[in-house]
Structure 1
Amino acid sequence: MDTPGNPPRFTWHTTESPAGSSYFYSVAAYLMRVAAEPQVIYDPVSDLIGQFGPLTQSGRALRNDGSRRTNREGKVNIQVEVLARAASPWTNGFDPVDKPNFRKLIAVGRAHGVPDDWPAGKPVATASSYTARDRNVWQNEGGHYGHCQVPGNDHWDPGAIDITIVPGGQSTGGGSTPTQPPTSSTPARYQVTINGLTYGYGAVGDHVTKVGQALVSKGFGTYYQSGPGPTWSDADTRNYQTFQRSLGYTGDAADGVPGETSLTRLLGTPLPSKTTTAPTAAYEPYPGAAFFSPGRRSPIITAMGRRLVALGCSAYAKGPGEHWTNADRESYKRWQRKLGYTGNDANGIPGKTSWDKLRVPKQL
């Protein structure tokens, strides 16, 4: 990059093509053929994502601003071509909860230090409505930009996309930095009652485990070191906060304590209640495939391993233990094959049917 001391940023484009998996590879091939590829291409319909090169190196989708190479501006300039048309904003009807690759893309940008801001404001809705491309803002403020906001360029994509979905709040213009609510290092520790059940720090019950399992299955389990379990912890709060932010909530509305609307988005209907919550089961419910990932630690994994040993499917040299390891995966693969699964269905990652048949004892 030419100016690695300048702030990091995303630059959002649209391909001005139809969306959908059937167009994904042909559009990617076209961008390479005309030497105009960004670092990333994304299809909002199928959630397909592709990467042309390292995010820390230059894309080729922008024109220079005189002698200034806009492709090489900032610590990183992560350019994303979205399969869409600027006249029909791709964020209309787009739900990040159902798009794990999109969430990963945003998370990677944050890991590179890109703030959740739009320093030049919301991208314009029509080609005729944009004239100024503030060079000072572009060069000196990190965050998210549309192609229409880059000096030296004359395109108006990505159109009037929703800047709560592509995260951040619109600035007041002219390069001023929007005020952000303070972030507390201590997560929220109050409780709410929904359908007669409590949620939030210290709440206890099967419904708490159900929330944690749903968060893990949707890719929001980062903060769990073990579990999820029946007691609401700070990890539950932080994971739920990440889920709330994916829905577009900000400030106090994204403090990690459920509201009825977000809880319904997570669990569906009907929500658990004192009258509908079933008695504690004798066996562990399926925690979701994402639970079985490197670094996971949980007594559930130990209990699973003991069941695999008891059923003659052990690949353990020692153990089993609480950490998910290759030995756990190999042992579970033997269990899947014992049930008659083959190929990708016997890859060692538990599925719901095989898990239920294993009958892992409930862990307290």
Structure 2
Amino acid sequence: MATPLTASRLLKALRNEGLVVHEVRSWRTHNRNSKGPWGPMHGVMIHHTATEGTDSSVDLCYDGRSDLPGPLCHGVIDKKGAVHLVGNGRANHAGLGDGDVLRAVINEDAELPADDDADTDGNRYFYGFECINLGDGKDPWPDEQLLAIEKAAAAICRAHGWNEHSVIGHREWQPGKVDPSGFTMDDLRGRIKKRLAKAAEGAPETDGSETDGSVTDDSESGGSETDSSESGGSGAEGPESGGSGTAAPEPQEPPHAPFPGQDFFRSGASSPVITAMGERLVAEGCSRYEYGPGPEWTEADRASYEAWQRKLGFDGDDADGVPGQVSWARLQVPNS
């Protein structure tokens, strides 16, 4: 179960993945949370807008329509590959979809069942990106835009420790939908898998014209570390369910435990961080514990961590059960 990213963590994750991100109006507090629950998060959903033009498409996704209030997604990806953040929280993008599909996404199954039911509120569980395209089979998908879609989805997966099977298209969720059209979701997921096997690129250089007028509320690196041991528009339609510079913040203890190094995890090691790690492995469905976890490093810890590495897509020597920097960052062990 994943807690929704705060606005600052979402922004940082996207920029750490090498994306140019524009903050639109009051996106940080723009949501439909008063109409229904938001979270826990289970995946990322990709749409096309069925519109053209950046400004008008961004405004539509921010404001919505008379019959479908905005935000209609969390980010709009334009033809040049920039992301425009328009909402943070519940958004009217997914609508009702198939509960069997949701369960497959939660399990990160390689194959999705047919979306033949509309019985589950997707606005609660999915981040949504609207990609500017007419969806008519003629409007092209520039390479810059396709790369940005890949990066945006990977950024959120990296932040939550998900793999590529946590990314789906609207057409795979809600019966009758066709978006996104013009590329295959299997191809997109394949590219996301390769991206997640490497460290994030880091924020792109800018010309100084774009500023982030807020202080971030976390100190995570967003997965930019390297690991020496592990390689490793009607798209928005759908019923609404239920509903420039600032002073530097005071130094704070990071919310997640820094990677203690591979040599830390050896027979006889004992630390509260091992207990915290084990509790996160249990929460991620990777428990191999008969009892515990506890502060001492045991074979059950190693086996549980191996299950986590394999969940991330590592194999061979990269899934030996000894924590590495990339897999540790994705596990997000609380600071003890």
TM range (shorter): 0.3 to 0.5
What TM-score, normalized to structure 1? Answer: 0.31
Larger Rg: 1
What TM-score, normalized to structure 2? Answer: 0.33
